[in-house]
Chains A and B, each alone.
Chain A
Amino acid sequence: MERSIAKDVGFYVMLGIGLVLMFIGPLIWDLFQIMQITQYVVLSVYALSLAYIWGFGGILSFGQAAFFGLGAYTFAVASINMGDTTLPFVLSFILPAAFGAGLGYFMFYGRLSEVYLGVVTMVVTLIFWKLINHTAGPEYSIGDARLGGFNGIPSIPILNVPGDPSAWLDPAQMFQVFMAILIIVYVVLRLIIASDFGRVSVGIRENEERSSLLGYDIRRHKVIVFAIGSGIAGMSGAMWATYQTFIDPNAFSMEMSAKALVWVMAGGIGTLAGPILAVVLLQWLSLKLGTMHILNNYVILGGIMMILVLLLPKGLLPTFQALSLRLWTIGKSKMKERTPKGKAASDV
């Protein structure tokens, strides 16, 4: 169903690139580049959360931003109150994962169809967005942290060395830590996919009825997959909050949910590396277009998205893989043609 890790060359290539960038990047990039690439890394973790639940669990969530925002606000509130950022960072995974498990329980045990699932996840995001937007007054405080309504929460602590709140990470260190998190998330997800649990998840995506006929409880499986994805989205929200030292209700926006869908679709559903590549490509493009002021950024990006969907419906990575395989096969057969059969050494 899914290739075993031992035979997955692409996995090792991605891992290698990730490790090289993690160690070499800060040595060769300037501060602006480091900040920029850190942003790509954070958004890649966010993209992976949806890539996993959609591509390998068959759960199409229109509300991944709910968990992203929840993680961001959890981190912001907890770190402002605690000072140290280590536990808040852990909480930013646990709380969204628990919320995802609860929401998933009602959705999957209630046997919601795919369409209603999409609607419910989207509505939950909108509720969060609306709710947080209405928390502007001083009465909306949790401990020392004021939620701030549409103004958001400023002065969120920068990630510190565990146990030492005064030892903040500088941008290069933050990039390295975030890169390590991205690599860990990528490897862990790949291991999950290659495990029996992962194979069953993919089986459920392929054929729910057959999975059920084999005795697998598809509801329970989906809840677990959804909770894992929610936790990862929440963690990326925390990374976003500490990277910006600021968070506002836009973390819960439809735009944030839509972006994750676009990255996964453009990169290739059913791949982990594809959405990462899509994040880098589309975010970079967005930045370049933003500085050119030719046309509204979103109009151009929307156009690119439509072209991608029409011309590369399987996404960037699967198309690239298919193309490479084809070129390899053609090259191999041409090599064979050039080698004359049965020619004696003396003839050469």
Chain B
Amino acid sequence: MSENYILTTENLTMRFGGVVAVDNVNFSLKEGELRCLLGPNGAGKSTFFKCLTGQLTPTSGSVKLRGQDITGWLTHDIVNQGVGIKTQVPNLFNGISVYENIRMAARRKHLKPMAREKAEEMMEKCGVTHLAKREVGLLAHGQRQLVELAMVLAEEPPLVLLDEPAAGMTGDERDRLADLVLETARKAAVIVVEHDMAFIRRIAKFTTVFNRGAIFREAMIDEIMSDRAVQEIYLGKQADVAA
């Protein structure tokens, strides 16, 4: 593989008993690239995502981060290689405040005073400053998504993996999220797994479509949207509405 690829998978396969959730996937992501992963429910996007993050150990094949084989590594080891992960369901410390959550993340990379500043900066960026003292467990789903994103970005990782970041968000929150993702993609490589087509159209360029555990198409978003085969397997009427 060329060395400007930050993440690659080779023949990545994940089986659950007789079910093949991810089937021989060869995927590559360049440094600084923003890639969206699309696909209908059960296409294997999230399983593929979990194989990248170490939450699942693939049955066969490999995952390489900047050429280093990280297949089967534990999540914290992958994170410590500079990978920021936002899971499908917001994963937060519910009993403490928004600020404390983000500060804990910032503390991974910064000393105490800097971590405080970084946490405040990320709260501002993600539009959750007004919620700073609120207990995270009491927030709405969309707000929790933004807090988790702020936590991921506070660590300033060169590779950001986001699993359905727009789920449960209001229109305003989604717009802010799109701006944030685009801004992040200027400094880091980003993979976004998402269903929300309006959101996808705002951020996506080169896009990978999954179907039945395998890569179905890889092309620019406009091509994907006008691809009849893709429409048939996934987009259907949504594509017409979005167009």
A: residues with CB less than 8 A from B are: 1, 196, 199, 203, 206-207, 209-210, 212-218
Contacts and interface: CB of A to CB of B under 8 A. Distances in A.
A212 B87 CA distance: 12
A196 B110 CA distance: 13
Contacts of A199: 104
Given A215-B76, A218-B76, A1 B91 contact: no
A3 to B, nearest CB: 11
Contacts of B104: 1, 199, 203, 214
Contact of A217 (B76, B94, B105): B76
A321 to B, nearest CB: 16
A203 B80 CA distance: 17
A214 B85 CA distance: 8
B57 interface: no
B96 A207 contact: no
B93 A210 contact: yes
B100 interface: yes
10 A-B pairs with the lowest CB-CB distances in the bound complex, closest first: A215-B79, A210-B91, A215-B80, A212-B75, A212-B76, A206-B93, A1-B96, A215-B76, A217-B76, A213-B85
Nearest to A200: B104
Nearest to B97: A1
Nearest to A217: B76
Contact of B76 (A203, A206, A207, A216): A216
B92 A209 contact: no
A213 B85 CA distance: 7
Given A1-B100, A209-B87, A214 B105 contact: yes
- Main SS of chain B's interface residues? loop
Contacts, number: 51
Given A1-B104, A207-B93, A215-B79, 5 more contacts: A206-B94, A210-B91, A213-B53, A215-B108, A217-B74
B67 interface: no
Interface residues of B, number: 22
B92 A210 contact: yes
Interface string B146-166: 000001000100000000000
B108 A212 contact: no
A290 to B, nearest CB: 40
Given A196-B107, A199-B104, A203-B104, A213 B96 contact: no
A214 B155 contact: yes
Interface string B54-97: 00000000000000000000111101100001010001111110
A207 B79 contact: no
A212 B74 CA distance: 9
13 contacts: A196-B107, A203-B93, A206-B94, A206-B96, A210-B92, A210-B93, A212-B75, A213-B75, A213-B76, A213-B79, A214-B104, A214-B151, A215-B108
Nearest to B78: A215
Contacts of A215: 76, 79-80, 108, 155
Given A213-B87, A214-B151, A206 B95 contact: yes
A79 to B, nearest CB: 43
B85 A1 contact: no
Contacts of A217: 74, 76-77
Contact of B108 (A207, A209, A214): A214
B146 to A, nearest CB: 15
B193 to A, nearest CB: 16
Contacts of A206: 93-96
Interface in B38-57: 53
A199 B100 CA distance: 10
A213 B155 CA distance: 11
A103 B93 CA distance: 28
A35 to B, nearest CB: 42
B151 to A, nearest CB: 7
Nearest to B55: A209
Contacts of A210: 91-93
